Amino acid sequence: MLVRPRSYVSSGLRYFAATLLIASLAIAGSATSAEAQGNSPRALWVWDAPSAGLDQPVVNFAVQQGIDTLYLNAPPGFSSNPDFGSFIAAADAAGLSVWALAGDPSWSLNSAPVVAWADEVAAFGGFDGLAPDIEPWGLSDWNNAKKQRRIVRSYLSVLSAVSDRNALPVNAAVPFWFDDPSLGSKRLPLIDNVMGRVDAITVMAYRDTAVGPDGIIELASYEVARGAQLGVEVIIGVETDNVAPDKVTFAEEGVAVMEAELAAVETALSGSSAFGGFAVHHYSSYRNLLTGV
């Protein structure tokens, strides 16, 4: 569960910024938005470890749901499992992109395991990129202001080390509140410093409504605006798992409501060059939501 830092920019200011962004996109890219509605790329987190018989069901599900990209859980040591090769081959045959997913809050403090993982992914082959999900706020020292600053500096160094390691692009998972000015360094919000080190971000804008002062559009507006300026793709993540509080997930509302809300987000933001579509968290819960299991 994501935890905001204590100091956080007011929702009113964020809503005002979102309104300005939407207005500017409506003027500059209304035709693009209309044409793109319902056609934005889709990614899917897959935490299930590949195993015999899993690859084709996941791949078939992704194709049926219009998924283009899989963030496949591939933790350190994954290369010893031969099922990863067959999974990637099945995904590739279906035209799906597969990014290696892994991470742990402890990775924020030491680049060595992250670099070793990136090297393992590159050596294994077949993956289209790296999707680190490090989540430094999960460390026990995060709520100590002085220690948090050290964690942030180390976390940014780790992202730099991974991005500089090999030719695979890096797409970092980040919470929406990384744009909080209190988390910044060098007079920039933390999210700016993250985007300066990676090729793309997936912002976990986990809400079950598109509009309003606490909706998906507001929570992702700064990232999309800065992504366009910095040349960084911004994918917007949404939740389908049964987690609390209710407002962070579509588990109660269902897929039809989710699609309607995402269509509203797409209409508002797809005029931006940075908008890279959506990522759904995650395969098992999304499948269950669709089937009613």
| Position 6 in a domain | no
| Whether 102 contacts 117, CB under 8 Å | yes
CA-to-CA distance for 13 and 18, rounded, in angstroms?
Answer: 9
| Position 59 in a domain | yes
CA-to-CA distance for 20 and 15, rounded, in angstroms?
Answer: 9
CA-to-CA distance for 15 and 151, rounded, in angstroms?
Answer: 29
Q: What is the DSSP letter of 170?
A: B
Q: Give the domain CATH number at 105.
A: 3.20.20.80
State the DSSP string of 93-126: HTT-EEEEEE--GGGGG-HHHHHHHHHHHHHH--
| Whether 225 contacts 266, CB under 8 Å | no
Determine the pLDDT at residue 36.
33
Nearest CA to 70 among 133, 123, 127? 127
| Position 4 in a domain | no
| Position 140 in a domain | yes
**Longest Cα–Cα distance in the chain:** 52
Determine the pLDDT at residue 4.
38
Look-up of token digits 């948090």: 148
Q: Which residues pair with 170 in a beta bridge?
A: 130
Helical pair 111-124 and 145-165, crossing angle rounded to 10 deg = 30
Q: What is the DSSP letter of 50?
A: P
Look-up of token digits 């669709």: 290
Written as six digits, the tokens of 164 are 């500089």
Structural domain count, the chain:
1
CA-to-CA distance for 43 and 276, rounded, in angstroms?
Answer: 10
CA-to-CA distance for 40 and 37, rounded, in angstroms?
Answer: 7
Written as six digits, the tokens of 56 are 């084709």
**Structural domain boundaries, residue 231:** 13-291
Burial pattern 95-122, b for ≥16 Cβ within 10 A else e, equals: ebbbbbbbbbbebbbebeebbebbebbe
Nearest CA to 76 among 18, 117, 26, 23? 117
| Position 28 in a domain | yes
Q: How many residues does the chain have?
A: 293
Q: Sign of torsion, CA 259 261 262 267?
A: positive
Query: pLDDT tens digits, the chain, 293 residues: what are they?
Result: 233 332 334 344 454 444 445 444 443 333 333 333 378 999 999 999 899 888 999 999 999 999 999 999 999 999 999 999 999 999 999 999 999 999 999 999 999 999 999 999 999 999 999 999 999 999 999 999 999 999 999 999 999 999 998 899 999 999 999 999 888 877 899 999 999 999 999 999 999 999 999 999 999 999 999 999 999 999 999 999 999 999 999 999 999 999 999 999 999 999 999 999 999 999 999 999 999 86
| Position 3 in a domain | no
